[in-house]
Amino acid sequence: MLKAWSMNKVWMTLVVLSAVSICGEESNAQSDSDPAEVSYHWIAGKLIPNEFGLPDGTWSSSTLRDCIDKCSADENCVGFSVERKFGDAWAAGCTGALCDAPTECHAKGVYGSSDWWLPNDAAIRVPGVDANSNAWIENWGTLLKK
């Protein structure tokens, strides 16, 4: 009986130490990271197709931070497209003034398994931007919710 009690104490001690260790690691990971970086992933040169745009999802004269706040507040928003210079600034930590400069974001909804727009696509995606090429897509990208 005493031997079984000693083994139970060993196992309980190991369980408690494991739980404390795991909780400590999760706490450190959360405190060391910026909430925006936890919630979004920058994908340069790829766009969710416009047909998945949200009805009120063209956010003109918004800062990148505004676009992140708006998308985060909208459960239908899975991400948004923005000019590459703004996405690159976000990926670099928004240390410069670019994340506070006005831009235009295009919020997108659930796109399922649809193919993303790529610069080398054969079909011209937005003839009004360039009727001959999709190369303009290289200058854009998507901030996608994780």
- pLDDT tens track for 130-141: 999 999 999 999
Question: pLDDT band at residue 144, thresholds of 50, 70 and 90?
Answer: very high
Both 28 and 41 in a single domain? no
Total of domains in the chain: 2
Both 15 and 47 in a single domain? no
Range of the domain at 3: 1-32
Both 78 and 136 in a single domain? yes
| Distance (Å) of CA 17 to CA 25, 45, 136 | 12, 46, 54
- pLDDT tens track for 29-88: 333 334 444 489 999 999 999 999 999 999 999 999 999 999 999 999 999 999 999 999
pLDDT at 96 over 90: no
Q: What is the rounded average pLDDT for all residues in the chain? A: 82
Which of the pair, 17 or 126, is modelled with greater confidence?
126
Smallest CA-to-CA distance from 67 within 50, 84, 52, 86 is with 86
pLDDT at 1 over 90: no
Both 45 and 20 in a single domain? no
